[in-house]
Structures are given as structure tokens and as C-alpha cells.
């Protein structure tokens, strides 16, 4: 029997674990939560100037391999992310680990036939039909999770009893991890959505609204952005974020095709989520948000390209914008000082 592990990102380990444990007869290893040890490991064995998500995921992989994993799963994307799997495999091999790397994306494409073949090697009884069914449930689960997260982001800063949203969400994720069918998932989702809507919130009309845009991993893994959303919520700020897995998988391509037509800011795709962020920035400016925060991991090339464009857009709409670059070693105090000054500034603007 194989021991399978995969890198960590936000809460998405729940649906990923659900999918793998249902379609494969294998031991799925739950990666430990990202801690300082993960980062130390990742930084030690990564090239210095690679983007930070590489270091985070490499750290998790080493931790998983030490826990006994022998098969690792990695995805790939439209920037340097596309080379993660190959390079990480090489680094880990050089470190003396013996394992198998399953790269879901090859040459920028997901080839289902190839993945089927790979999975068949792991589990000879693997069935295509079953995996289609569970993939469907998983995608729905991700969609529900993201919807709830959007709702939380808008309201968590105004909860009357501190911590009520977080507690409820933890409960929900445990329930989601144990569902058996689509029907059950739907019932649980409705139950929790109702509960979330019943949480007491006090939302003043003159509250600050901030949009967070930027590089996908830094946005979705709260440890890598020093829990920026929590920090904003602590100060009674409503947060809007576009990027989530549901968006990247299902809605992104359609939306961008439409956006890129006759656009004054970008004419062609800038790689990864760069042109999405131009669109998001424009949306935030046009919909009356008080400020924009752009976050990225250090050395993220597409986002560096986009910074000039969005600061121009923000300037033309007179919306303040703040840029943060995260690397595992940046100072948390410096970050918090700048963030505090940012919402102080927004508040002063609003009260004027």
C-alpha cells in the first residue's frame, strides 16, 4: 500500500484528503500544519531566489516524507509554479529521499488519460467512474467552502461574540471531511450557511472596506501572509478577496477572456493571475472600496509586472493602494506597522 502526501494550502487539505481517500485504496498522510519548522526546512533546501510558495511546499514535502510518505502529489500553473514538481523532485532526490512524484500538470496541461494511468499504478482497483463522482463532490465542496469564506470575510470583523465564526468554521470543516454523498454535503452546507447567517454581527454603515488582491498562494495560505485577513478583521474592516480555488478552476478563464477584450489596461494575459488582478483592482476602484492591498511572495515575476499597472489604475480612481511582499524572513513588526498606518490613513480619509 502506498503512502500518499500533498502540500498544504489554507483549508483545502480537507477536500483534497476527502477526494484521495475516497478514490484510492492507499494511506493518505495529512500534512502537519505549516509552522516555523516547515519554513526553516523549505528555506534551507531551496534556491535562494525562488518564489516563497516553493519553499513552503518543499518544507511540507520534507515533513511528509519524514512521516513516511512515499508518493507526493504536486500541481503546476502558469508561471514558475509550472516547474515546481520537477525541481522539487530533483532536490528531494539529492537529499536522499526515495519516493515517487506525481505531477498532475505536464507542459501546462492536465492530461486526464495520463493521470488515470498514474493512479492505476498506485491502486490496481482504481475506477474512473468512482473518481468522476467524487471529483464532482469535491469541486462542490470547494465551491461551498469558498462561498462561506467570502461570507465570513465580509462579517467576521463585526461579530459580537469574538471567535464565533472561527469556531463554527472549524466544526463545518470536520463535517465536510466526513461526508458520504453529494446529498449529505448539500444538507450540511445549508445547515451551516444558515448558522453562519444567524451569528450576531454589528455592522456600522461607515465601516471600512478593503480589497485584497495578489499572488494566489500568499493570498490563500494565511500563515504566509501573517494572517493579514485576521489582522484586518480585528480592526473592524470588511475584506473582499477574489482569488480562491473555485475561481481558479472554474470561473477564471471565462472571465478573463471577456475582460481582455477591448481593455485599456492589458491586452494579453500577463501570466499566472496578473491580469486577473488588474481586473480585480478596477472592480474594487469602481465599487467604492476604501483601499486596496496587494500581496505577493517575494520574487513573484507576474505580480511584479502588474504592480505598475494597478498603481496607475488606483491613482486614476484616487484609491490608496498598499504593496506587501512576503518572504519567510520578513519582519512581522514592520508589516504590522505599515498595515496599521494604512487603515489609520483610510479612516482619516473617510472621516474628512
Q: How far apart are alpha carbons 245 and 118 in whole angstroms?
A: 24
Burial class (CB in 10 A: 0-12, 13-18, 19+), 14: buried
Write down the least CB distance from residue 315 to another protein, Å. Answer: 9
CB 70 within 8 A of CB 2: yes
Question: Applying CB under 8 A, which part among 93-101, 130-138, 213-221, 329-337 lies near another protein?
Answer: 329-337
Can residue 334 be called a binding residue for another protein (CB under 8 A)? yes
Phi, psi of 110 (to 5 degrees): -95, 115
Q: For strand 71-74 and strand 3-5, is the pairing parallel, antiparallel, or unpaired?
A: parallel
Q: How far apart are alpha carbons 142 and 103 in whole angstroms?
A: 21
Question: Applying CB under 8 A, which part among 1-9, 14-22, 177-185, 341-349 lies near another protein?
Answer: 341-349
Nearer to another protein, 304 or 345 (CB): 345
Nearer to another protein, 211 or 291 (CB): 291
Q: How far apart are alpha carbons 334 and 326 in whole angstroms?
A: 11
User: Which strands, in side-by-side order, build the sheet including 321-326?
Assistant: 237-241, 208-214, 291-297, 321-326
Among 25, 170, 286, 344, binds another protein (CB under 8 A): 344
Among 143, 325, 326, 328, binds another protein (CB under 8 A): 325
Q: How far apart are alpha carbons 53 and 39 in whole angstroms?
A: 10
Extract the C-alpha cell encoding 146: 469558498
Write down the least CB distance from residue 325 to another protein, Å. Answer: 7
Can residue 222 be called a binding residue for another protein (CB under 8 A)? no
Can residue 160 be called a binding residue for another protein (CB under 8 A)? no
Residues 31-90 that bind another protein (CB under 8 A): 32, 35-38
User: What track of x and - describes contact with another protein for positions 6 through 25 (by CB under 8 A)?
Assistant: --------------------
Write down the least CB distance from residue 233 to another protein, Å. Answer: 14
Question: Applying CB under 8 A, which part among 91-99, 136-144, 183-191, 339-347 lies near another protein?
Answer: 339-347
- In this structure, how many other beta carbons lie within 10 angstroms of the beta carbon of residue 255? 13
Q: How far apart are alpha carbons 79 and 81 in whole angstroms?
A: 5
| Per-residue CA distances from 166 to 153, 170, 172, 230 (Å) | 11, 6, 10, 10
CB 37 within 8 A of CB 66: no
Nearer to another protein, 257 or 312 (CB): 312
Extract the C-alpha cell encoding 283: 472592480
Nearer to another protein, 114 or 230 (CB): 230
Q: How far apart are alpha carbons 53 and 82 in whole angstroms?
A: 12
Nearer to another protein, 17 or 324 (CB): 324
Nearer to another protein, 144 or 324 (CB): 324
Question: Applying CB under 8 A, which part among 105-113, 123-131, 211-219, 331-339 lies near another protein?
Answer: 331-339
Contacts with another protein, residue ranges (CB under 8 A): 32, 35-38, 311, 320, 325, 333-334, 337-338, 340-341, 344-345, 348-349, 352
Amino acid at each position: 500500500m502506498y503512502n500518499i502526501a500533498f502540500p498544504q494550502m489554507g483549508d483545502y487539505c480537507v477536500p483534497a484528503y476527502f477526494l484521495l481517500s475516497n478514490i484510492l485504496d492507499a494511506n493518505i498522510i495529512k500534512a502537519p500544519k505549516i509552522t516555523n519548522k516547515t519554513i526553516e526546512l523549505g528555506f534551507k533546501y531551496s534556491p535562494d531566489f525562488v518564489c516563497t510558495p516553493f519553499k513552503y511546499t518543499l518544507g511540507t514535502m520534507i515533513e511528509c516524507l519524514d512521516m513516511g510518505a512515499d508518493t507526493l502529489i504536486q500541481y503546476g500553473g502558469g508561471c514558475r509554479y509550472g516547474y515546481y514538481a520537477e525541481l522539487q523532485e530533483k532536490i528531494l532526490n539529492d537529499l536522499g529521499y526515495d519516493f515517487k512524484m506525481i505531477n498532475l500538470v505536464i507542459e501546462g496541461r492536465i492530461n486526464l488519460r495520463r493521470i488515470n494511468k498514474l493512479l492505476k499504478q498506485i491502486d490496481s482497483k482504481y475506477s474512473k467512474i468512482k473518481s468522476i463522482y467524487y471529483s464532482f463532490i469535491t469541486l462542490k465542496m470547494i465551491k461551498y467552502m469558498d462561498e462561506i469564506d467570502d461570507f465570513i470575510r465580509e462579517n467576521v470583523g463585526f461579530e459580537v461574540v469574538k471567535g464565533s465564526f472561527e469556531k463554527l468554521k472549524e466544526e463545518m470543516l470536520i463535517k465536510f471531511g466526513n461526508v458520504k454523498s453529494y446529498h449529505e454535503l448539500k444538507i450540511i452546507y445549508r445547515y451551516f450557511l444558515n448558522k453562519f447567517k444567524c451569528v450576531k454581527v454589528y455592522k456600522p454603515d461607515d465601516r471600512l472596506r478593503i480589497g485584497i488582491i495578489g499572488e494566489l498562494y500568499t493570498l490563500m495560505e494565511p500563515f504566509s501572509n501573517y494572517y493579514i485577513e485576521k489582522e484586518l478583521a480585528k480592526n473592524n474592516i470588511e475584506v473582499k478577496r477574489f482569488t480562491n480555488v473555485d475561481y481558479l478552476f472554474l470561473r477564471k478563464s471565462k472571465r478573463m477572456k471577456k475582460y481582455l477584450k477591448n481593455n485599456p489596461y492589458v491586452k494579453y494575459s500577463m501570466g499566472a493571475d496578473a491580469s486577473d488582478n488588474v481586473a480585480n483592482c478596477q472592480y474594487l476602484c469602481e465599487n467604492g472600496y476604501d483601499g486596496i492591498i496587494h500581496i505577493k511572495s517575494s520574487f513573484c515575476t507576474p505580480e511584479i509586472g502588474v504592480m505598475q499597472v494597478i498603481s496607475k489604475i488606483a491613482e486614476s480612481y484616487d484609491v490608496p493602494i498598499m504593496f506587501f511582499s512576503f518572504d519567510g524572513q520578513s519582519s512581522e513588526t514592520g508589516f504590522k506597522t505599515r498595515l496599521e498606518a494604512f487603515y489609520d490613513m483610510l479612516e482619516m480619509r473617510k472621516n474628512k
